[in-house]
Structure 1
Amino acid sequence: MSTTLEWRIEPSWPAPPRVRALCTTRGGGVSTGPFAGLNLADHVGDEPSLVVQNRALLRARLGLPTEPHWLRQVHGCRVADAVREPRACRADAVIAMGPREVCAVLTADCLPLLLCDAAGTRVAAVHAGWRGLAQGIIEATIARLAVPPRVILCWLGPAIGPETFEVGAEVRARFLAQGGKDTKAAFVPAPGDKWGDKWLANLYALARERLRACGVDRVWGGEFCTYSDPERFFSYRRDKITGRMASLIWIDPDAG
């Protein structure tokens, strides 16, 4: 399980003390209307000045060493380097091989993954919707971390849950075609569907299978549903016009 505070969720995982990680909720911000709370996305129609204030609140509350490495997420499988590439580059994951660079992804139903190695020398944040999973964003990130998979730790942050994430038959077919002995179990027929056109997909199970296939079996989290918890989470599927939470991870050399 993970610890939920007013405006953030802290992973319960055995990461090294110098690895800092969390996911925000929608609580504690200044945005209003459909973005009410701590919206951290500047591309969803929220008042820009309010997003700036929310990001400043985030930095102040956490004492962040730098501005998070915000990405321009495109549901692909490109991995950015927090040191070598500019903020707002097109990517769906970001890695840091040293201290003080804050990796971040924004989500409102897609699955955020936070990863680190057991020595606390490298970290990564991943944005994984079904398209990113199918294209190999997890595999690409693990490859870029360049450590044995057995030393990687992973936390699965808040995403749309398996009882509410409805997809079409073509999505299921794409995953089944990619193999994986447990893929079929990650899809169940949607209630009321008579023709096999609609399925409920388990993003958490699909991600865990991809991680296992890569050799990563130290995985925590996955107990949330953004769609079903409007007080804590933004959800695009539920509301269409909405904000975004942030999942962040960085190395603090003074913490351990």
Structure 2
Amino acid sequence: MPWIRAGWPAPRGVHGLTTLRHGLGVSKVPFDTFNMGNCTAVEGDDPADVARNRDLLVEHARLPAEPRWLRQVHGAGVVRFGGEAGVPAGTASRETGSGSQAGSDPIAAASPEADASVTSDPGVVLAILTADCLPVLFCADDGSEVAAAHAGWRGLADGVLEATVAAMRTPPERIRAWLGPAAGPQRYEIGVEVYDAFVSRDWGAGSAFTSTREHHWHVDLYALARRRLAAAGIAADQVTGGDLCTLAAPDRFFSHRRDKRTGRMVSLVWIEPTR
């Protein structure tokens, strides 16, 4: 299969998945083959190839509609999709940065700038692009609402997960979350900037860092995400996933940190429309 299904006890009618780098697609090395990220200025893939990959995804995953793409900026902005447009949800902040996915992608250029999205509308497919950052999918336990968040370390530190939970109409105690493929704690080494971004605000977050050498640590994004979700009211037994390392599996996942010039996976979540 060219994707993995979200490993969560989702209610009937809720679907979640993350694409793999192979199994479908037409992109050439180093974006081979199922690259979802069309940001030519940064990545260099042929936009026509990426467009074909996206068409293949819609066809083979039998999506009810084209995914709702975002211009991701490593911030904490959240939009709600309903009908034809995305509108700001809650009061989450927005920021720009080098992680922007717009580039020369006309779809992204016309998409709202945010790093998370929410919908209660069946048939609306939410999409998050990653290649080491953590994708987090959410659903209400009755299947009435879904959300998706892009939690790179900057967004995670700035509260993108808390902002996503706050933007949902479902109470936190009724929300389930799945942590998708990301840079894992055995390989993701960071420096003082990342360490301080978390520990300066929450001393207990230090348990997610393991010293490797002076002023460097391995960081467990999954542990940090679980800590943030718990603070937002989502209990530990409502969170699954967090066991797929993008850095350690070059045959399965794109990794910007490992390969520099590379593609992007997409994580999707949607409510199946009634027929």
2: distance between equivalents of 1:164 and 1:16?
34
Please state whether the residue corresponding to 2:268 is helix, strand or coil: strand
Q: Which moved more, 1:7-16 or 1:81-90?
A: 81-90
Residue 35 of structure 1 aligns with which residue? 31
2: distance between equivalents of 1:54 and 1:170?
36
Paired residue for 2:211, among 155, 170, 189? 189
| TM-score of the aligned structures, taking structure 1 as reference length | 0.93
Q: How many Å apart are 1:232 and its aligned residue?
A: 0.2
Query: What amino acid sits opposite 1:20 in the alignment?
Result: H
Residue 2 of structure 2 aligns with which residue? 7
Q: Could you list the runs of 5+ residues in structure 2 that have no partner in the other structure? A: 88-109
1: distance between equivalents of 2:122 and 2:253?
29
Please state whether the residue corresponding to 1:237 is helix, strand or coil: helix
1: distance between equivalents of 2:25 and 2:229?
34
Residue 200 of structure 1 aligns with which residue? 218
Residue 183 of structure 2 aligns with which residue? 160
Write the deviation string for residues 45-77 of structure 1: whole angstroms up to 9, x where unpaired: 210110011000000012212110111100000
Residue 3 of structure 1 aligns with which residue? none
Within-5 A mapping of 1:62-73: 62-73=61-72
Please state whether the residue corresponding to 1:174 is helix, strand or coil: helix
Q: How many Å apart are 1:170 and its aligned residue?
A: 2.4
1: distance between equivalents of 2:258 and 2:174?
37
1: distance between equivalents of 2:10 and 2:121?
15
Query: What amino acid sits opposite 2:224 in the alignment?
Result: L
Residue 97 of structure 1 aligns with which residue? 120
Residue 228 of structure 1 aligns with which residue? 248
Q: How many Å apart are 1:180 and its aligned residue?
A: 5.6
Please state whether the residue corresponding to 2:263 is helix, strand or coil: coil
Query: What amino acid sits opposite 2:223 in the alignment?
Result: A
Identity %: 48
Query: What amino acid sits opposite 1:25 in the alignment?
Result: L
Within-5 A mapping of 1:236-255: 236-254=256-274
Residue 76 of structure 1 aligns with which residue? 75
Point out 4+ residue stretches in structure 1 off by more than 3 angstroms: none
Q: Which moved more, 1:238-247 or 1:161-170?
A: 161-170
Paired residue for 2:143, among 120, 131, 138? 120
Please state whether the residue corresponding to 1:71 is helix, strand or coil: coil
| TM-score of the aligned structures, taking structure 2 as reference length | 0.86
Q: How many Å apart are 1:88 and its aligned residue?
A: 1.9
Over the aligned positions, Cα root-mean-square deviation in angstroms equals 1.3
Aligned residues: 245
